[in-house]
Structures are given as structure tokens and as C-alpha cells.
Amino acid sequence: MVTQVHGAGVVEVAGDERPEVVERIAADALVTSAPGVALAVRTADCVPVLLAVEGPGVARVAAVHAGWRGVVAGVIPAAVLALTAGGLATTAVRASIGPAIDGCCFEVHPDVSEALVAATGRREIVIVRGPGSRPHVDLRRAARWSLLSAGLLAEHIDLVGPCTRCAASAFHSYRREGGGRGRQLSFVVISGDA
């Protein structure tokens, strides 16, 4: 894990680093080709995105923490670029978008929704409930559009789990519980026999 800062920083993990050293690095995505090394992100409404790709003689994985600021900053395409460095095909990347706050619950200021529309190029991620109401944003759909824009194929992107704010018995939510509560841990690892 790294110290998540809601930015676009990506860290390459060789596999021989001490975890406490990596944890001090400010970033929001990790990438590795080292078998047996688990890459993890913590979320409580932000979007966890797990990525994997295989090429001739190599497998690579990435874990991405994508809040709205990270989506706007470009953390998802930055992670895809780092994952496919060395010539791996972007169209071969598989992605899993995990549980996060959905449009039903993610009410934002108009400047946030406009920043997300500008970053993804997709106005349909914004839900307007009625005249005078603040917009709601479907953050997982924004993450999906970021993956598609980075070159992933739609059939290689899985959406997993419910809205974290709605599913109180199963998931932590910053919007529901406040900042002092728990987090989900999403991780990806290349098996030792890869």
C-alpha cells in the first residue's frame, strides 16, 4: 500500500521493497510484475480499480485508488500506461471496478460534476434530481469511461458490488460514517506460479 493522496501518482513495485517504505510514498496506484506481491488500496466511497494484463512471458497487475480528484487528475489512465509499459497491449488489460459510492448517494457541488465531465468527456455520469437540486455523480461510471478512454475494451471491464453508502451492513462509507471509520481493502496479486 501507499499513502493515498487523491492524485495521479503511480508507483512501480519490484517486490523486494519493505512494505513500511512503500507505505510512506504518496501515490494512488501501484503496479508490479512480481509474483506473490499483493498490491492494495483502501477505500470508503472512492473507487477501487484492479487491473491485470498478460503478455509473452510476463504478467502485470495494478491497484488504483480513484476518488473524484484522482479521476480528474488522470490516475486511471496513468496506471494503465504504467501497467502496459514495455509493449503490453492495452486491449488485453482486464479491469475490475469495485464497490464505491454510486450516483444515488454521491451529491456534489456543480464544479465537481463539471470537472468530472471534462475529465471523462461524458455528461451522462451526472444525475440531476430536479430544478435547484445539486448534481449527483456516478463515480464508478466515471472510472469506467476513464478505462475505456485509456484503451480498454468494454467487455474486459467488470463492475463488482453495490453502492458503499447504501450497503451499510456490508461496506464502510465516508459519506455515511464520517472519516474516523473503517475502510475496504481491495488487492490484486500475481500467483506464484505465473
Q: Has residue 114 been placed in a domain? A: no
> What mean pLDDT value characterizes the chain?
92
Confidence at residue 55, expressed as pLDDT on a 0 to 100 scale? 87
Kindly provide the b/e burial profile for residues 84-114, where b requires at least 16 CB atoms within 10 angstroms of the residue's own CB: beeebebeebbbbbbbbbbbebbbbeeebbe
By residue range, what is the domain housing residue 17? 10-100+151-183
Q: Has residue 168 been placed in a domain? A: yes
Q: Per the structure, how many domains does the chain have? A: 1
Q: What one-character DSSP code corresponds to residue 26?
A: B
Q: Has residue 143 been placed in a domain? A: no
pLDDT tens digits for 102-153? 999 999 999 999 999 999 999 999 987 777 788 999 999 999 999 999 999 9
Confidence at residue 85, expressed as pLDDT on a 0 to 100 scale? 93
Q: Mark the ranges of the chain whose per-residue pLDDT is less than 70.
A: 179-180, 192-194
Confidence at residue 129, expressed as pLDDT on a 0 to 100 scale? 73
Confidence at residue 180, expressed as pLDDT on a 0 to 100 scale? 64
Assign residue 82 the CATH number of its domain.
Answer: 3.60.140.10
Residue keyed to cell 510484475: 33
Confidence at residue 172, expressed as pLDDT on a 0 to 100 scale? 79
Q: Has residue 111 been placed in a domain? A: no
